[in-house]
């Protein structure tokens, strides 16, 4: 439930609260911070709450992060970069049609991001971009653009192979990515107030419709 960071803690029982845990602390703090930032946004997040949620005192936060700003940036940077890397790896040795690969990537993304706390990051980036310009810049360059380039190549390949119709890949990329990002944002904002809706079904439909629209013939 806590995603990949949780693994670091999995062999630690609550009983060892008294243990020195310098190694594990940052990951625990980041996880707690991700949760609270995702829920409340940057300004409304109280460091007290993050600390309590991480099982430490407020002062201890400052042993690991210089400031609330630094913690926020670390949350974004530390959680998101491994996801990009992981996605790129998955694509590397793929054999098969571009369409199949793209659907597979959607599935990976669903498992690794959408269904974990990491899904909170797009929302906090979107909400706080103008308050953290350098972070926004960083995110754009290292996450957004990197992803766009990666997907654009696939679409280009699909066009060349005759899987996809002739079209502007720049638009196609964004059309493909929008439902993914949006479902993460929605899940962490209004979905809890909305009636139940199976996001899997949505992704399936949306992607199917995307492929119907973009495939040749």
Partner DNA sequence: TATGAATGAGACTTCATTCAT
Partner DNA sequence: AATGAATGAAGTCTCATTCAT
Distance (Å, whole) CA 169 – CA 166: 9
CB contact set of 8 (below 8 Å; sequence gap of 6+): 24, 27, 28
Of residues 65-104, those binding DNA (CB under 7 A): 66-69
Binding site for its own copies (CB under 8 A): 39-44, 123, 125-131, 133, 136-137, 139-140, 144, 167-168, 170-172, 174-175, 178-179, 181-182, 185-186, 189-190, 192-194, 197, 201-202, 205-206, 208-214
The entry of DNA, its own copies, none that residue 152 binds, CB within 5 to 8 Å by partner kind: none
| Window contacting DNA (CB under 7 A); options: 56-64, 146-154, 165-173, 189-197 | 56-64
Query: For the purposes of burial, counting CB atoms within 10 Å of the CB of 204, is it exposed (0-12), middle (13-18) or buried (19 or more)?
Result: middle
The entry of its own copies, DNA, none that residue 15 binds, CB within 5 to 8 Å by partner kind: none
CB of 22 to its own copies, least distance (A): 15
The entry of DNA, its own copies, none that residue 156 binds, CB within 5 to 8 Å by partner kind: none
Distance (Å, whole) CA 84 – CA 87: 5
Length of the chain equals 217
Given 2, 3, 6, 25, the residue binding DNA (CB under 7 A): 25
Nearer to DNA among residue 27 and residue 172 (C-beta): 27
CB contact set of 167 (below 8 Å; sequence gap of 6+): 159, 214
Distance (Å, whole) CA 27 – CA 22: 10
CB of 48 to DNA, least distance (A): 6
The entry of DNA, its own copies, none that residue 175 binds, CB within 5 to 8 Å by partner kind: its own copies
Alpha carbon distances (Å) from 132 to 73, 109, 126, 200, 205: 9, 26, 10, 32, 35
Answer yes or no: are the C-beta atoms of 150 and 105 closer than 8 Å: no
Q: Is 58 in the site for DNA (CB under 7 A)?
A: yes
Three-state DSSP state, 150: helix
Q: Which residue has the tokens 């909305």?
A: 194
Nearer to its own copies among residue 89 and residue 171 (C-beta): 171
Binding site for DNA (CB under 7 A): 18-22, 25, 45-48, 56-60, 62-63, 66-69
């Amino acid at each position: 439930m806590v995603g990949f960071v949780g693994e670091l803690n999995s062999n630690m029982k609550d009983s060892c609260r008294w243990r020195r845990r310098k190694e594990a602390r940052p990951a625990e703090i980041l996880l707690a911070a991700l949760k609270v930032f995702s829920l409340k946004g940057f300004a409304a997040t109280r460091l007290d709450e993050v600390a309590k949620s991480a099982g430490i005192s407020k002062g201890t936060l400052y042993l690991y992060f210089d400031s609330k700003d630094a913690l926020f940036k670390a949350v974004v940077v530390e959680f998101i970069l491994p996801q990009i890397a992981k996605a790129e790896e998955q694509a590397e040795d793929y054999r098969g049609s571009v369409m199949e690969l793209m659907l597979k990537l959607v599935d990976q993304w669903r498992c690794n991001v959408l269904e974990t706390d990491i899904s909170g990051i797009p929302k906090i980036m979107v909400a706080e971009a103008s308050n953290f310009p350098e972070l926004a810049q960083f995110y754009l360059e290292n996450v957004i653009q990197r992803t766009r380039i990666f997907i654009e190549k696939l679409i280009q390949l699909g066009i060349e192979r005759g899987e996809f119709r002739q079209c502007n890949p720049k638009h196609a990329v964004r059309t493909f990515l929008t439902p993914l990002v949006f479902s993460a944002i929605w899940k962490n904002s209004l979905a809890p107030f909305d009636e139940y809706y199976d996001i899997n079904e949505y992704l399936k439909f949306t992607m199917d419709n995307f492929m119907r629209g973009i495939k040749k013939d």
